[in-house]
Amino acid sequence: MTGGAGFVGGHVVASLVATGARVRVLDDFSTGSMDNLCHARTLGLADADIRAVDIAALEGQQEIRDWRPSVVVHLAANAAFARSIRDPYLDARINVLGTIGVLAAAASCGAEKVVLASSGGTVYGELPAGAARLAEDAPRTPVSPYGLSKLTADRYAELYRELFGLPHTALALANVYGPGQDPGAGVVAATARAVATGRRPLIYGDGRQTRDFVHVSDVAEAFRRAVNAPPCATVNIGTGIETRIADVVAEVCRCFGVPTTPRYAPERPGEVTRICLDNRRAAELLGWRPTVGLVEGIAGVVDTLRAPEPAGA
């Protein structure tokens, strides 16, 4: 698995190891952490199967060829939207060239399939006015470098299927959140960290933008099912529920028991106004449905950040 030491990757590794799979983690640890692999290691992930390599470099691709896995799970990516705006070259190197290298290595070593993370929050672009959800056959018109690089990676996976017979499943993830997420990677984590450290949360734009928030434990289960299911091209992994950013911020503040007094900053370029994914295909092909509601999931994030009670209190 590439990117296995990341926020999502660590949960996916643990989910697979728990079912008896042998997993080898490839990660350059530029954003990943051994902390994200603690649970997987207690379940049996061997230290020898954790390799610090760059999958966009030849050494990372050679690791895949040497190991000859039956399934390649590809999660390594630049997942930072803002970073893609600042440095689209780096974003493309990781998300496009890295994916090409992984696909080439998987095809050359005879892998049965590749399961890769796509971005349901960016590859489709704007949810059309009047539409409730985006299905997998919706037009794809990304409006950010990150969305474009993830769409390009998806297209390469499709080409490798057509040209080299390498099957794949691309899970188009909605906005993933959960305990342990980097505060720079999502509004739930950023807001919770701000409130936990006594700062006012920040909202870009007016807060009426909407997202489809899916818990990381549900995402890990989707990957586990995709690894064990027949390849099925693109599958949306989201809740099908559209939630305003301002409402998420308010719920985090409510869980902490503090007033909702956000700061506002100009809307960031390249962000869409509305996102919501149709998840019926995931139910049909993977037997997957989300199980963690947003209120419950936010409470779990807050619980991990809440300061402990002083001794004797």
> In whole angstroms, how far apart are CA 40 and each of 30, 117, 241?
20, 20, 30
Long-range contacts of 155-164 (CB under 8 A, 24+ apart): 156/96, 156/99, 156/100, 156/103, 157/99, 157/103, 157/114, 157/116, 158/233, 160/103, 160/104, 160/107, 160/114, 164/107
- CA-closest candidate to residue 119, choices 17, 260, 270: 270
User: Tens digit of pLDDT for each residue in 23-76?
Assistant: 999 999 999 999 999 999 999 999 999 999 999 999 999 999 999 999 999 999
Strand partners, 115: 73, 169
Cβ contact 195:135 at 8 Å: no
User: Tens digit of pLDDT for each residue in 120-156?
Assistant: 989 999 988 888 999 999 999 999 999 999 999 999 9
Confidence of residue 309 (pLDDT cuts 50, 70, 90): very low
Q: What is the pLDDT of residue 178?
A: 97
Cβ contact 184:160 at 8 Å: no
Confidence of residue 308 (pLDDT cuts 50, 70, 90): low
User: Tens digit of pLDDT for each residue in 258-284?
Assistant: 999 999 999 988 889 999 999 999 999
- The answer to whether 146 is a known catalytic residue is yes
User: Tens digit of pLDDT for each residue in 284-298?
Assistant: 999 999 999 999 999
Is residue 18's pLDDT more than 70? yes
Cβ contact 223:171 at 8 Å: yes
Which CATH number does the domain 7-178+213-239+278-290 belong to among 3.40.980.10, 3.40.50.720, 1.10.10.10, 3.40.630.10?
3.40.50.720
Over residues 206-217, mean pLDDT: 97
- Choose the catalytic residue: 146, 156, 160, 177: 146
Cα separation, 54 vs 56, in Å, equals 5
Confidence of residue 185 (pLDDT cuts 50, 70, 90): confident
User: Tens digit of pLDDT for each residue in 149-161?
Assistant: 999 999 999 999 9
3-state SS, one letter per residue, for the chain = CECCCCHHHHHHHHHHHHCCCCCCEEECCCCCCHHHHHHHHHHCCCHHHEEECCCCCHHHHHHHHHHCCCEEEECCCCCCHHHHHHCHHHHHHHHHHHHHHHHHHHHHCCCCEEEEEEECCCCCCCCCCCCCCECCCCCCCCCCHHHHHHHHHHHHHHHHHHHHCCCEEEEEECEEECCCCCHHHCHHHHHHHHHHCCCCCEEECCCCCEECEEEHHHHHHHHHHHHHCCCCEEEEECCCCCEEHHHHHHHHHHHHCCCCCCEEECCCCCCCCCCCECCHHHHHHHCCCCCCCHHHHHHHHHHHHCCCCCCCC
Q: What is the pLDDT of residue 204?
A: 95
Domain boundaries, the chain: 7-178+213-239+278-290
User: Tens digit of pLDDT for each residue in 80-116?
Assistant: 777 888 899 999 999 999 999 999 999 999 999 999 9
Q: What is the pLDDT of residue 307?
A: 52
Over residues 224-236, mean pLDDT: 96
Cα separation, 79 vs 310, in Å, equals 37
Is residue 313's pLDDT more than 70? no
- CA-closest candidate to residue 180, choices 58, 90, 303, 46: 303
